[in-house]
Amino acid sequence: MARMDEITVGIIGMGEMGKMYARRISAAGWKVIACDRPSKYAELKQEFSDCPKVQILLDGHRVSRLGDYIIYSVEAEAIDSIVALYGPSTKQGAVVGGQTSCKAPELAAFEKHLPEDVDIVSCHSLHGPKVDPKGQPLVQINHRASPRSVGLVRQILSCFGSKRVEISGEEHDHITADTQAVTHAAFLSMGTAWCANDQFPWETDRYIGGIENVKVNLMLRIYSNKWHVYAGLAILNPWAKIQIKQYAASVTELFKLMLGGERDKLEKRIKAAASTVFTPQEREERLLLSDEVLDRFSLGKPPKEKKRNNHLALLAMVDCWSELQIVPYDHMICSTPLFRLWLGVTQYLFRKPGLLDEVLTTAVEDHSFRRDDLEFTFAARAWSECVSFGDFQSYRDRFERIQEYFKPRFPEATRVGNEMINVIFESM
């Protein structure tokens, strides 16, 4: 066990995650040194003046010279250039890691720019900065490390009370392509479709109540965050491109079956997909979500009678998992709260007696929402292409245009969304 008074933890990048790390690690008793860009030095110093165990330094060179465990908590897109800048200043024998959401570019940057006498142990908290880390998955990647360095990082990060998962960078990226990138692609596409039809979903009967509330609240939650987090974890992850492409293909193919009124083919395909995704013991478990709980989190006035929906986004998710031979339950080790809810509503659709058959009938017989489904299909393909091209600027433009559209509802959506997440997880 390392002695706390002999170890200094360095943090480069004091954005939302960096600040959360600095506050929690210092509160556990470790000395923390941290920096952001030199232009933010004075402001950060002021902000952390109430925190004697956090010392703000001018730049990453200073943090690197003094830190025993240095965490890069910067934009994923910039990891190579930032490690190239400060990496060579790293203290001899130190341990270095990153908090970016995609590990291939981060670990490549470390290998390329860090001195050979420095160990590499990365991490990834699978939740946003405002979520209590207790019990949430925290990935630790012992990439190039002595047992002492592995132990030191375990000891430092234990203050989060998270569920530690030790896997390789490659395993991490493979799993998070599903738990994060594809999940986000589905919600990004919903927002894009609603925006394209100039429609606030909470003003439309079809999108109020039950699992519709989860879709709307999570969509708003994603668009209320920073574009670079979602762009980075999708564009830089090679598996994400493949998986998002399959999601878009599943959406397109299922929509074509709906348009053609091919109920038998649709049913056969969906039920076959469900049998590969939901294992017998999963099917036997009780429903994780209930109507009574979900109905409480509407942003609009609930209609007298619930409108039917064909749930194209959810059917396509199960089809996509099946096509890629993914069992989403195996990915719980790298699940975010958002993914668990997404899996929860998907499972609800497939397990609630009678619901799947009702949905399949709606899909072929009810034409009233074809315009929404058409836009959703376009959107899923457009996000997939945007990620495949790897163009950060066009990702940003698309994201921020839609963000602007929904902006007025973010404060309320964040409040209701947080409450929804808390209540649902308690009830689970």
Decide: is 328 part of the binding site for ligand ENO (CB under 6 A).
Answer: no
Closer of 20 and 379 to ligand ENO (Cβ): 20
- Smallest distance from ligand NDP to CB 123, Å: 9
359 within 8 A of 309, measured Cβ to Cβ: yes
**CA quadruple 83, 84, 88, 89: dihedral positive or negative?**
negative
Among positions 164-223, residues that touch ligand ENO (CB under 6 A) are 180, 222
Least distance (Å) from ligand ENO to the CB of residue 248?
Answer: 19
Q: Which is nearer to ligand NDP, 163 or 226 (CB)?
A: 226
How many CA atoms does the CB half-sphere of 152 hold within 13 Å?
26
Residue whose tokens read 């939650």: 221
Rule CB under 6 A: say whether 100 interacts with ligand NDP. yes
Q: How many C-beta atoms lie closer than 10 Å to residue 146's C-beta? A: 13
Structure tokens belonging to residue 3? 């002695």
C-beta of 256 vs 407, nearer to ligand ENO: 407
Site for ligand NDP in 57-86 (CB under 6 A): 60, 73-76, 78, 82
The structure tokens listed for 90 are 């790293």
**Segment lying near ligand NDP (by CB under 6 A), choices 29-37, 157-165, 187-195, 271-279:** 29-37
Residue 140 in the binding site for ligand NDP (CB under 6 A): no
Q: Give me the long-range contacts of 363-366 (CB less than 8 A, separation at least 24).
A: 363/254, 363/257, 363/258, 363/263, 363/266, 363/310, 363/312, 363/315, 364/258, 364/261, 364/262, 364/263, 364/266, 365/261, 366/308, 366/310
d(CA 176, CA 332): 10
Could you tell me which stretch among 95-103, 255-263, 281-289, 299-307 binds ligand NDP (CB under 6 A)? 95-103
Closer of 67 and 232 to ligand NDP (Cβ): 232
Contact positions vs ligand ENO (CB under 6 A):
101, 126-128, 180, 222, 229, 233, 336-338
Per CB under 6 A, residues contacting ligand NDP are 12-18, 35-37, 60, 73-76, 78, 82, 99-101, 125, 128-129, 226, 229, 232-233
